[in-house]
Amino acid sequence: MNMPIAADLLELHDHSSRGRFSDWRMALKTVLGFWAIYVVTVVARAFLGSDPTTILLNKVLTLAVGLVLTVLLYLAIALLAPGSSMRRKAVVAGLGSVIACVVLASTLVLSEGRQRTSKEEFRFQAREGFVVVQKGDQVRIERNAADPVVVTMPRLQDLKQHDQFRIAADAAVVWLFFFAAWSAVYLAAVSQRQALELQQRASAAESAANLAQVRALRYQVNPHFLFNTLNSLSSLVISGRPEEAEAMILKLSNFFRTSLSLDPTADVSLAEEIELQRLYLEIEKVRFPRRLKVVIDVPDSLTSARLPALVLQPIVENAIKYGLGRTRDKVTLKITAEEPLPGRLRIEISNFGGTVLKTPRQSSGGAGTRVGLANVAQRLRARFGRAAGIEHGPLPEGGYKVALTMPVTRHDG
């Protein structure tokens, strides 16, 4: 596995399990957001009346206690259900919401005697013809041809415990919906966060797997090529051609210096890939100076197209190995590129020429061909998926052709 991606995976794992309060920023945003909505509604209501200051001051206790209870509810979820299933978190959130609404309602009932009396006055006409005026805890009933009746409403502390409990229960039900709504929003945010982290981990794991596959496929090329080249060097030395062997060694060094400096997971331009194949073919021309002819036809419009580095290498190797191995005559190796359809790149590598020898080696293909083509097919699939393909087969006039198709992608700098 690529080390940077492995580090990213570990970082993601640590991020998801590094503490019970790792999401405190997100939780704080939801808490402040909910109570900000409450403040906006209270302020709007206060300024609809004639005494907004009193109304706002009376709501300070509700805001302070509610904020503290919501934070405690978050702490309860984090402490009692750390890293557990959403079902357990929901149970803790539900029980915590019930406790929080009871505490807040009880606090408001007990503090009712310390609330400031509002100077707002409400006046309305009763069905019986009386005018009812309410100001603070006093209600004045104005009657025609009679003195008004002033009634002072009892405070909560003056009511029976049963009535106090009923009023507190009504308030608790209202606040239960508030805490339950916050819990639902918070748990939804947690669930979304976990889903995103799992998606990131899965994506990183898939990228790491593809990267490892591409590296493995890419590194299969060099040992195979080196083995063939060493055999060629051995033949030159044995046949008493040291100058040609030395020239091949220099070209081999140049080829490996260029190819091994490439990132095996990166794409190269078609021009760069063709240049790499030219370096390789120069090596083979040292071995077959009179029998190998190379024709390369790549239009300028496609030179910037991107493809995996050295993806043509196994095909060119097989074309030389089996093309020259089946005849003693001159063989032409041809590499062409075209754009048969807009956005589609087609690269053909073919070998033809010469009279086929009547030996067991006359086949144009073999185990090596199948291995090389399988390597190319896997690399194309890892890079382009189903958008890439490979075709191969003998030519009617003799020889063999391999055609690669893939999307045209360019990195314009």
User: In this predicted structure, what is the pLDDT of residue 15?
Assistant: 41
Give 10-residue mean pLDDT values along the chain (413 residues).
40 48 89 94 88 89 94 92 81 94 90 80 79 79 79 74 84 93 93 85 66 56 67 83 84 79 78 90 82 94 91 87 82 95 95 68 51 81 88 88 93 54
User: In this predicted structure, what is the pLDDT of residue 11?
Assistant: 41
- What are the phi and psi torsion angles at 400 (to 5°)? -145, 145
Domains of the chain and CATH, by start: 3-116+161-209 (no CATH), 228-407 (3.30.565.10)
| Separation of alpha carbons 234 and 226, rounded Å | 12
User: In this predicted structure, what is the pLDDT of residue 9?
Assistant: 40
Q: With a threshold of 0.85, does the pTM exceed it?
A: no
User: In this predicted structure, what is the pLDDT of residue 211?
Assistant: 62
User: In this predicted structure, what is the pLDDT of residue 8?
Assistant: 40
CA-nearest of 289, 361, 281, 360 to 320 is 281
User: In this predicted structure, what is the pLDDT of residue 100?
Assistant: 95
Q: What pLDDT digit, counting tens, does each position of 243-257 carry?
A: 888 888 888 888 778
